[in-house]
Amino acid sequence: NDSACTVDSYGLSCFSPASVPQLTNSPTLIVMVGLPARGKTYISKKLSRYLNWIGVPTKVFNLGQYRREAVQSYKNFEFFRPDNEEAMQIRRACATNALEDVVIYFSKEHGQVAVFDATNTTRERRISIVSFSKEKGYKVFFVESICDDPNIIAQNITEVKVSSPDYVNCDKDEAQADFLKRIECYKQTYVPLDDEKDRHLSYIKIFNVGSRYLVNRVQDHIQSRIVYYLMNIHVTPRSIFLSRHGESELNLLGRIGGDSGLSPRGHKYATALGGFIKGQHIKDLKVWTSHMKRTIQTAEHLGIPYEQWKALNEIDAGVCEELTYEDIQENHPEEFALRDQDKYRYRYPKGESYEDLVHRLEPVIMELERQENVLVVCHQAVMRCLLAYLLDKTADELPYLKCPLHTVLKLTPVAYGCRVEHICLNIEAVNTHRERPGNVDITRNPEEALKTIPDHF
């Protein structure tokens, strides 16, 4: 593949080597707007995680971090008073530095989207960002979060502000009180995006954590996807449970793929999973499986209605379906090595790559965002992809994430990330995890190729 290939959004991939790349995709600068504690950083991080996962290189530039580097120790809210000239200079310099780093990210680090996570609450600041972008040829998309519900704001402050580096030496109440005064400083000069004056800008306004949205002038595909994503996420507390099917007959034989049923131990796990789920007393749990027997048989033991998604089917190993690793080494030694060289992008002949899997799982992720409590009963490669999305793992890490059989993962969003609990249900199973071997060269000998394969019958 030609190095001029860019993977834009999930349906588009690579240009013909003989063609001029026809989209010199302008990079996109997403500009957050809103008072403190309106969820800007939460949205910035979540959106970046999503865009990176679907293959759009994205990075967050958080102004607070630049400020903390410039002003080593935070004293109090007075720094943010609009009449504090000295602080204003520092804050402007920080914004300039952040934008300089954005330029480097786009021009030298192959970045496609940058999220400028700052309050950007004055018209003056936003105008200067728009000029800067125009001059550089970047598209600008504003994301404004407007919230006047004091409960939501208090909740935000408790969750992420009082534990911020700014308040390391304060007790909770002091931190809370100071932060509220900080918000007041910003309120004095806050001018929201205006229906009339800003009608030529591209933006989405999010009201009260998503009950309402105003979308203006979406310019292109990536902005349309961003809007769709932002309109589907929510902050209602919930948990996502991920599990593979119970051990299957093919697992026992060390064979990949196929559509076999559960082994006796696999059935035991499914029963144990049912017991575990009941014990969790989960409200309105949705259960999803693939179309393959082994996940369906697993879900059957739960005694809860479940939905089958073809998109959750295991990665298609094409010509290697139902082979053992030894078979693959014997019949397709070169392919086996190529896969070890780039496990994320490698596509089995007549099959799929992890990259393809991510593309087909995107609607699952979108629906997972819309839902609340969900248990996904799936497969090793599929689970790795979902986990990489939920835990912000890179494409390099993704194909080697450990997703053992007979272990449930409980993921609960907390603050800016996800808390993970591993629950091994104590039913023995084979190991199906193959680490990357030392030698990935196509000239390697069979022992080197097969060094890391797990045991099987």
Query: What is the rounded distance in angstroms from the CA atom of residue 138 to the CA atom of residue 209?
Result: 28
For 182, the 3-state DSSP assignment is helix
Nearest partner of 440 among 431, 452, 430, judged by Cα: 452
CB-wise, 152 or 218, nearer to a second copy? 218
Query: Annotated catalytic, 245?
Result: yes
- Asked whether residue 294 is marked as a ligand-binding residue, the answer is yes
CB-wise, 224 or 341, nearer to a second copy? 224
CB-wise, 3 or 22, nearer to a second copy? 22
3-state per-residue secondary structure call for 272-341: HHHHHHHHHCCCCCEEEECCCHHHHHHHHCCCCCEEECHHHCCCCCHHHCCCEHHHHHHHCHHHHHHHHH
In angstroms, give the least distance from the CB of 120 to a second copy.
Answer: 21
- Asked whether residue 347 is marked as a ligand-binding residue, the answer is no
CB-wise, 117 or 355, nearer to a second copy? 355
- Asked whether residue 248 is marked as a ligand-binding residue, the answer is yes
Query: What is the rounded distance in angstroms from the CA atom of residue 26 to the CA atom of residue 228?
Result: 20
- Asked whether residue 290 is marked as a ligand-binding residue, the answer is no
Under rule CB under 8 A, how many of the chain's residues touch a second copy?
Answer: 49
Stretch that binds a second copy, among 264-272, 273-281, 363-371, 388-396 (CB under 8 A): 363-371
Is 51 a binding residue for a second copy by CB under 8 A? The answer is no
- Asked whether residue 200 is marked as a ligand-binding residue, the answer is no
For 215, the 3-state DSSP assignment is strand
**CA distances (Å), 314 to each of 202, 231, 292, 354, in order?**
39, 29, 8, 10
Is 24 a binding residue for a second copy by CB under 8 A? The answer is no
Query: What is the rounded distance in angstroms from the CA atom of residue 48 to the CA atom of residue 105?
Result: 14
Stretch that binds a second copy, among 75-83, 115-123, 309-317, 442-450 (CB under 8 A): 309-317
Is 1 a binding residue for a second copy by CB under 8 A? The answer is no
In angstroms, give the least distance from the CB of 293 to a second copy.
Answer: 11
Query: What is the rounded distance in angstroms from the CA atom of residue 383 to the CA atom of residue 377?
Result: 9
CB-wise, 157 or 374, nearer to a second copy? 374
In angstroms, give the least distance from the CB of 16 to a second copy.
Answer: 6
- Asked whether residue 369 is marked as a ligand-binding residue, the answer is no
Residue among 2, 4, 21, 275 that touches a second copy (CB under 8 A)? 21
CB-wise, 229 or 336, nearer to a second copy? 229
- Asked whether residue 247 is marked as a ligand-binding residue, the answer is yes
Catalytic entry in 245, 301, 332, 359: 245
**CA distances (Å), 93 to each of 88, 98, 121, in order?**
9, 9, 17
Q: Judge contact between 305 and 297, C-beta under 8 A.
A: no
Residues constituting the chain: 457
- Asked whether residue 249 is marked as a ligand-binding residue, the answer is yes
Q: Which amino acid is at 195?
A: D
CB-wise, 11 or 279, nearer to a second copy? 11
In angstroms, give the least distance from the CB of 150 to a second copy.
Answer: 18
Using CB under 8 A as the binding rule, the residues of this chain from 181 to 240 that contact a second copy are 199, 211-218, 220-221, 224, 227-228, 231-232
- Asked whether residue 279 is marked as a ligand-binding residue, the answer is no
Using CB under 8 A as the binding rule, the residues of this chain from 275 to 304 that contact a second copy are 286, 291, 296, 299-300, 304
Q: Hey, what are 58's tokens? A: 């994205």
In angstroms, give the least distance from the CB of 292 to a second copy.
Answer: 12
Query: What is the rounded distance in angstroms from the CA atom of residue 18 to the CA atom of residue 3?
Result: 12
Stretch that binds a second copy, among 62-70, 242-250, 362-370, 375-383 (CB under 8 A): 362-370
236 DSSP β-pair partners: none
> In this structure, how many other beta carbons lie within 10 angstroms of the beta carbon of residue 148?
10
Q: Hey, what are 206's tokens? A: 């999010």
> In this structure, how many other beta carbons lie within 10 angstroms of the beta carbon of residue 344?
19
Using CB under 8 A as the binding rule, the residues of this chain from 381 to 410 that contact a second copy are none
Query: Annotated catalytic, 421?
Result: no
Phi and psi (nearest 5°) for 418? Answer: -140, 130
Catalytic residues: 245, 314
Interface residue list for a second copy (CB under 8 A): 10-16, 18-23, 199, 211-218, 220-221, 224, 227-228, 231-232, 286, 291, 296, 299-300, 304-311, 356, 359-360, 363-364, 367, 370
- Residues flagged as binding site: 244-251, 294
